[in-house]
Structure 1
Amino acid sequence: MGFRRLFTIQWKNVFGFTRTMAKRSGRSSLSILFDFIDCYRKRGTTWLNYMNFGFDRQREPAIRDTFATEYKDNAVMFRCNVPERARVIKDKGLFNEAYREFLGRDFIDLRHADCAAYEAFVGRFDTVFAKPASGCGGDGVEKLTREQARGQFDRLVREGKVVIEEAARQHSELNAINADSVNTLRTCTCINELGDVTVLYMVLRIGRKGSVVDNMSAGGLYTKLSDDGRITHPCYSAVGFGTVYTHHPDTNLPFTGIQLPMIDQVKELVVRAALKYPGTRYVGWDVAITPEGPVLIEGNDRPGTDLPQTFAHSDTGRGLVAAYEKALSIQLR
């Protein structure tokens, strides 16, 4: 990484995480700081990567090399997607149009609708979600009842919350984990040079009480699932510079051992979505499981490398570079 990129680091976060990592590992804050800067320059490791991968405790270069980093490796993997397809996936309105058959719910894009069409749409549903067309981390997402949504056309357009969606109903077994938000499965598909699709990982994201989204940046928890859809490790949150949870902090529900329903259908859904358009070789699909089956919530043309490589969910202490290379027919090391 270039020296100039050091000036783009979120130093306020870095100093907070440095103190926490020092306490967690028994190293000095200065040792952590200089080690992070070295990883940042040589490996493209963000401070979230460093923290979530457990690099404060794992210092062996050969093992660190097994982790796919955000600024170096993910930038290469991102280029596996054709720019036009990436543009569609980034835009929630365009995504909904392109993948309508996989959504299981209705939507309207206020960039192409008038007030009358909006009022007719929101009048059909008890609850809708209003979202910005672009963005990530659940920023700007608003949940509205029918009564709350009425008369809000001008405000929503003004605020850029132009994608209005019928609320997805969550399966009862996911509601039992957390009912305040839809708990989605980040499911990553990779397509190699032969056109073979690999479901590389599934990560369950779990919301918190009072939050309508399950995103990590909104305080949500996550855990990597086994291939058959079981929770085999504690949940993790990056909030507070990394916290491991064996039980849901709001309900005290134990996580380990929970079997998610309809996992085979989840995999079938994302494989079909991955193959719908040429040029979408590397996508993280956010999947909700409803009583009728899994549906797509949205797609991510550059799924982050933190979720599938978090130290709390690994039995080997190693990253996924080799798996990414095989699944995408690329060379990272």
Structure 2
Amino acid sequence: MLITWYPPPLPGLGRDAPGSANGYLRRQWLRGAWRRGTWVDRLSFVAAIILWWPSTILHAAYLALRLGTSRAKTSGKSPFRQFLEQIAVAAQWMVPPLWYYTFEFHDDERRAHAGDYLQRVQVKPFIYRWLVDRKQRRDKNVPFASKVHFSKLCRERGLRAGTVIAIVGPKHIDFTDPAMTAFPPRDLFVKIKLGRGGRGAERWNYAAGTYRDGEGRSLSAAELGEHLKRRAKLEKRVVEYCLTNHSDLADLTTGALATARILTLRNENGGIEATHAVFRMPQRPGALVDNIHAGGIAAAVELATGKLGRATDLGVSTDSAWHARHPATGAAIEGRVLPHWPEALDLVKRAHDLIGDRVVVGWDVAILEDGPCLIEGNGKPDVDLMQRPHRAGLGNSRFGALLRHHLEKALAGDASNGRRPDQFGTFNR
């Protein structure tokens, strides 16, 4: 998998400040990837190191040609100078050229803090995996791998969450409620059962006895069932009730559900702490999901108040920008305060304490008229989703400090992940 070796773990990478959390995490990634990897992994690392500079130079040149002119207008730097800076930051920190634009390292001040940024190659396949509790868990079901299992766990623990009403396979539909034999007369949202990033999503609005989608199709309940079974030939689907955002947020959506992504971690005392949050919004009319990797935008959220900053995409398009107002609706984003924000923070903290078998969880939360609702939990949350809107690296933030704390404990043989003794074995049952 590309993410496990790009950029490759090259020994001697980076020159971090002594004692910095990000430096510690970087060193452990470099050592652990080689020490804990298989021989196949190590051979892949060697191949990646050999290819690193040719691919980096070619990619940097391509990006300078594609994005350089638009960024020159804001940075005052020519595309050629941007190319040289991409090479320089890659040489010092092994930052891929694409991230030079994602995190705006053409800005001298931000580039000076390039070492503070965590890379997904460090956390997703390595550090997060090393912190998964594999010894104390009695039930091997993972709470975040299955949308159906996650929905069931939330119901059992009294946590408000989206409800999965059916699982659709190529030959049959299994309703989670034994009393249900057909799709109810309500708006429905369909996802790939093990999908990510909104891939394959469908929305079906109910009216006058039929379900209608954005492409103009109109189906009866029976016809919708047959349609979903055909779609499930390769990947099963799950069907949920559609949710609608709080009325105060209606002008920040284009029909899709907008959600907050909130990062929570266990702290040094075993409690749950929220460290960062963003609010994600669909950008295009007709979009079915708000995911920033699917064309959406995200704004940093001030944890103490729920106030939004400017919103942005991933920064790798010629027209990427920072939006004080929604690009489609014109509604104000910057300065907007999210309704029910204290309740949203309380919900994710309780959820992490009750079902989170991970040190870190990224929660997707919809803010509805009557309060927050969990959509899903992510046991290996993305880091660029937070670092881009916040315009700062996570490595030397509270997030990085807690990740370092737990990694130090884990490498010393402590598999508790900061949990209290009374919590062992109580998850996922």
TMscore range, shorter length? 0.7 to 0.9
Aligned positions of 1:318-333 closer than 5 A: 318-322=392-396, 323-328=398-403, 329-330=405-406
> Secondary structure of the equivalent of 2:298?
strand
What do the CA deviations read for 1:267-295 (whole angstroms, capped 9, x no partner)?
11111111123631111111001122211
> Secondary structure of the equivalent of 1:233?
strand
Aligned residue among 196, 218, 221 for 2:297: 221
Q: CA deviation at 1:297?
A: 1.0
Give the corresponding residue for 1:172.
247
Give the corresponding residue for 2:101.
51
Aligned residue among 132, 155, 165 for 1:107: 165
Matched, 1:269 2:329: no
Aligned residue among 252, 257, 263 for 1:188: 263
Give the corresponding residue for 2:322.
244
TM-score by length of 1: 0.83
**Residue type of the alignment partner of 1:123:** F
What do the CA deviations read for 1:2-35 (whole angstroms, capped 9, x no partner)?
31563888x7798246642452434344543454
Separation in 2 of the partners of 1:17 and 1:178? 33
Separation in 1 of the partners of 2:365 and 2:277? 10
Q: Is the 8 A contact 1:78 1:302 kept in 2?
A: yes
Per mean C-alpha deviation after superposition, the further-off stretch among 115-124 and 272-281 is: 115-124
Q: Is the 8 A contact 2:264 2:348 kept in 1?
A: yes
Separation in 1 of the partners of 2:76 and 2:308? 28
**Judging changes above 3 Å, is the alpha-carbon distance between structure 1 residues 65 and 272 closer, same or farther for their aligned structure 2 residues?**
same
Q: Is the 8 A contact 1:223 1:231 kept in 2?
A: no
Q: Is the 8 A contact 2:190 2:202 kept in 1?
A: yes
> Secondary structure of the equivalent of 2:144?
helix
Aligned residue among 189, 192, 195 for 1:129: 189
TM-score by length of 2: 0.66
Separation in 2 of the partners of 1:274 and 1:8? 40
Per mean C-alpha deviation after superposition, the further-off stretch among 176-185 and 149-158 is: 149-158
> Secondary structure of the equivalent of 1:326?
helix
**Judging changes above 3 Å, is the alpha-carbon distance between structure 1 residues 157 and 29 closer, same or farther for their aligned structure 2 residues?**
same
Separation in 2 of the partners of 1:297 and 1:8? 38
Separation in 2 of the partners of 1:201 and 1:109? 33
Runs of 4+ in structure 1 deviating by more than 6 angstroms, as ranges, are 11-14, 83-86
> Secondary structure of the equivalent of 1:143?
strand
Q: CA deviation at 1:62?
A: 5.4
Separation in 1 of the partners of 2:107 and 2:65? 13
Aligned positions of 1:60-79 closer than 5 A: 63-73=113-123, 75-79=125-129
Q: Is the 8 A contact 1:171 1:290 kept in 2?
A: yes
What do the CA deviations read for 1:108-137 (whole angstroms, capped 9, x no partner)?
223599337499566214211111122322
Give the corresponding residue for 2:40.
none
Matched, 1:286 2:346: no
Separation in 1 of the partners of 2:372 and 2:171? 28
> Secondary structure of the equivalent of 2:350?
helix
Aligned residue among 139, 142, 146 for 1:91: 146
**Residue type of the alignment partner of 1:92:** K
Aligned residue among 58, 61, 67 for 1:20: 67
> Secondary structure of the equivalent of 1:124?
coil
What do the CA deviations read for 1:220-242 (whole angstroms, capped 9, x no partner)?
11100112344442111126253
Q: Is the 8 A contact 1:86 1:280 kept in 2?
A: no
**Residue type of the alignment partner of 1:52:** T
**Judging changes above 3 Å, is the alpha-carbon distance between structure 1 residues 65 and 330 closer, same or farther for their aligned structure 2 residues?**
farther
Gaps of at least 5 residues in structure 2 are 1-6, 9-48, 212-218, 409-429
What do the CA deviations read for 1:12-68 (whole angstroms, capped 9, x no partner)?
798246642452434344543454355457545345533232212236775222222
What do the CA deviations read for 1:72-93 (whole angstroms, capped 9, x no partner)?
3555542333468795413333
**Judging changes above 3 Å, is the alpha-carbon distance between structure 1 residues 88 and 331 closer, same or farther for their aligned structure 2 residues?**
closer
**Judging changes above 3 Å, is the alpha-carbon distance between structure 1 residues 227 and 67 closer, same or farther for their aligned structure 2 residues?**
same
> Secondary structure of the equivalent of 2:377?
strand
**Judging changes above 3 Å, is the alpha-carbon distance between structure 1 residues 32 and 169 closer, same or farther for their aligned structure 2 residues?**
same
> Secondary structure of the equivalent of 1:49?
helix
In our comparison, the structure showing a higher alpha carbon Rg is 2
